[in-house]
């Protein structure tokens, strides 16, 4: 349970940094508390998408992953972020990714922030 909470908070921090740095990723909320709640909801959805959809996509694209020497992983991460944006749009959560390039840059930032968090908390949780 503790690892799940740490993973959720780490994803929320990574998503916050991505929305701050990438112009095409927007996170809206009238107050700071509403924005934090929105980030936690988006982080939970992002975690579920990464836990359920991403492994299926990786298995189906395995030959292309080998062919591109793993670089397709960045595209898959971008698609997972874009899918998260689409799901949150259906749930009326104020998080939006404007297009593929914003999703790609956001996914890169989320990956880097996740790696930094994993360096700081190596035995606590692993952020994807």
Q: Is residue 37 part of a domain?
A: yes
CA 43/CA 85 separation, integer angstroms: 11
Counted domains in the chain: 1
Alpha carbon 60 to chain centroid, angstroms: 20
List per-residue pLDDT tens for the chain, 128 residues long: 778 888 899 999 999 999 999 999 999 876 888 889 999 999 999 999 999 999 999 999 999 999 999 999 999 999 999 999 999 999 988 899 999 999 999 999 999 998 898 888 766 445 55
Q: Is residue 12 part of a domain?
A: yes
Could you give phi then psi for residue 97, rounded to 5 degrees?
-110, 125
Q: Is residue 35 part of a domain?
A: yes
**Domain housing 93:** 2-120
- Res 128: pLDDT: 58
- Note whether 27 and 97 are within 8 A (CB): no
CA 75/CA 58 separation, integer angstroms: 11
CA 39/CA 60 separation, integer angstroms: 30
- Model's pTM, two decimal places? 0.87
Q: Is residue 21 part of a domain?
A: yes
Q: Is residue 104 part of a domain?
A: yes
- Note whether 102 and 25 are within 8 A (CB): yes
Under 8 Å CB-to-CB from 8, ≥6 apart: which residues? 40, 43, 44, 47
């Amino acid at each position: 349970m503790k690892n799940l909470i740490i993973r959720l908070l780490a994803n929320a921090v990574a998503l916050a940094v991505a929305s701050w740095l990438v112009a095409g990723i927007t996170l809206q909320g009238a107050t700071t508390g509403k924005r934090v709640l929105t980030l936690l909801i988006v982080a939970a959805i992002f975690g579920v998408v990464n836990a359920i959809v991403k492994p299926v996509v990786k298995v189906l694209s395995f030959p292309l992953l080998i062919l591109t020497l793993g670089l397709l992983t960045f595209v898959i991460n971008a698609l997972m972020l874009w899918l998260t944006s689409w799901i949150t749009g259906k749930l009326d959560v104020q998080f939006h990714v404007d297009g593929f390039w914003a999703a790609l840059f956001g996914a890169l930032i989320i990956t880097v922030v996740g790696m930094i968090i994993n360096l700081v908390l190596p035995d606590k949780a692993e952020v994807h």
